[in-house]
Amino acid sequence: MTHQRPQRVLVTGGLGQIGRCLYQGLVDRYRLVLLDRQDAQVADFPGADVVTADLTDLDATCQVMSGVDAVVHLAAHPVEASFEKIVTDNILTTHIVFEAARRAGVGRVVFASSNHVTGFYGREETIGPDAPVRPDTFYGASKTHGEAVGRLYADKYGIDVVCLRIGSFLDQPTDIRHLSTWLSPRDCQELISCCLEARGLGYLVVYGTSRNTRRWWSNAGWEPLGYRPQDDAETFASEVGPEPGVAPGSEAAARQGGWFVELDPFHRT
């Protein structure tokens, strides 16, 4: 496996949970630019640049891309919401990130997709990135759209694009579903640096989890990335509880997406 290390890496949603984890693990490895909507004290992130920008603004996004070698696009509304909010926060912003990357000549985009692209598969199934999408929410559908935009920019403009269908990013698993879906912080840091450095990727979709014994998703794509996770959620099997709000025997309990499959943004109480 050959690697090439990008110098300057822009992380959108850089002050979110995964962004902060990347900062902790990767600040000594790359020149990180943490981009977020909220203001942050630069002093809280020594060694990184912190910028505030609105990703619905193409000109502003182009400006922050200047001089960037690779982008990790994490910014998104992270759960189900109204269609309008998903369109603005996830679909429009992702389109703008890819377009700004193209205009700035950025060579690689790592897109934080989600396991909710395939949330309607049953828990008895093991699937890989080539299984037809079955999004469980508008949120999941927006990630499917992001993967398709990534494919377009890879095929048409030659940008390397890796779409990570992230499972459950948590310090440690807390419920039974997480035994299948967990992505630990150190594996997340390792996975994203593999995505930034593996050579000749073109376009790749992979599931982003730790090496969980009970995982529902194949490791297809890990090998070309050079990703070797270290953690297994099974270590916490005796400590986890039931899934909050998920009734035994329900659709949510039967499907990989869990409670997302029962969310209906048109019928909120």
CB neighbour class for 117 (10 Å; exposed up to 12, middle 13-18, buried from 19): buried
Residue with Cβ nearer ligand 15L (65 or 164):
164
Is 139 annotated in the active site?
yes
Short-list 264, 236, 242, 256, CA closest to 170: 236
104: tokens are 């700035």
Q: Which stretch binds ligand 15L (CB under 6 A): 112-120, 144-152, 155-163, 243-251?
A: 112-120
129: tokens are 């990135």
Candidate list 1, 42, 79, 148; residue touching ligand 15L; CB under 6 A: 79
Q: How many residues bind ligand 15L (CB under 6 A)?
A: 7
Q: Which stretch binds ligand 15L (CB under 6 A): 8-16, 59-67, 95-103, 113-121?
A: 113-121
Name which of residues 165 to 224 contact ligand 15L (CB under 6 A): 168, 181
Q: Could you give the CA distance from residue 76 to residue 88 in angstroms, rounded to a whole number? A: 9
User: Minimum distance from CB of 26 to ligand 15L (Å)?
Assistant: 20
Ramachandran angles phi, psi of 64, nearest 5°? -75, -15
Q: Which stretch binds ligand 15L (CB under 6 A): 92-100, 111-119, 128-136, 208-216?
A: 111-119
Residue with Cβ nearer ligand 15L (108 or 178):
178
Binding marks (x or -) toward ligand 15L, 139..168, rule CB under 6 A? -----------------------------x
Residue with Cβ nearer ligand 15L (45 or 139):
139
Residue with Cβ nearer ligand 15L (67 or 83):
83
Active-site pick, 23, 30, 121, 139: 139
User: Minimum distance from CB of 49 to ligand 15L (Å)?
Assistant: 25
User: Minimum distance from CB of 10 to ligand 15L (Å)?
Assistant: 20
Q: Could you give the CA distance from residue 118 to residue 257 in angstroms, rounded to a whole number? A: 7
DSSP 3-state of 92? helix
Candidate list 93, 115, 184, 189; residue touching ligand 15L; CB under 6 A: 115
Q: Which stretch binds ligand 15L (CB under 6 A): 53-61, 85-93, 109-117, 121-129?
A: 109-117
DSSP 3-state of 191? helix
Name which of residues 230 to 259 contact ligand 15L (CB under 6 A): none
Among the residues of 158-263, which ranges form H helices? 178-181, 185-197, 222-225, 251-254
Q: Strands of 160-166's sheet, edge to edge?
A: 49-52, 31-36, 8-12, 70-73, 108-114, 160-166, 203-208
- Asked if residue 78 binds ligand 15L (CB under 6 A), the reply is yes
DSSP 3-state of 124? coil
Among the residues of the chain, which ranges form H helices? 17-26, 58-65, 83-86, 93-104, 138-157, 178-181, 185-197, 222-225, 251-254
Q: Which residues contact 9 (CB under 8 A, 6 or more apart)?
A: 26, 30, 31, 32, 33, 68, 69, 70, 71, 72, 196
Catalogue the active-site residues.
139
Binding site for ligand 15L (CB under 6 A): 78-79, 114-116, 168, 181
